[in-house]
Amino acid sequence: MRTVNLINVELAMPVDATQPYDDNNIFAKILRGEIPSTKIYEDEFAYAFPDINAQAPTHILVIPKGGYVSWDDFSDRASDTEIAGFVRAVGKIARDSGLVEPGYRLLANTGPDSHQEVPHLHVHIFAGRPLGPMLAR
């Protein structure tokens, strides 16, 4: 129960993706084992776990092991090896979860207009039902 309270407090603030990486964010704490999570996948580049506030029947979060605030930060500062490893991990997780044939959606928010809630790059994998249009009209 305490984990949920920590997450709810942290998620209340919008993220300015131009700020330096804060190694006290919730995903950094998960990577360090300070906050428990249910591991779906892990390799040297990525860690994946179910979102505790699932927005679809399947809702997996994939985070890079390195400290990157957003997709912009990651694409600018990560090594080619880290970028390739992370992107390949996202694809492997989708394949291993049986999501390719029925389909899935990837989402990575950057900054306040996108409603980024944690200042650590993360990709959402949504699946398990028809997801409708990409954006509300």
Burial of residue 108 (number of CB atoms within 10 Å: 0-12, 13-18, 19+): middle
The catalytic residue among 59, 115, 122, 124 is 122
Q: Any catalytic annotation for residue 124?
A: no
Q: How far apart are CA 108 and CA 16, in angstroms?
A: 14
Q: How far apart are CA 130 and CA 6, in angstroms?
A: 31
| Residue 120 DSSP SS3 | coil
Q: Which residues are catalytic?
A: 122
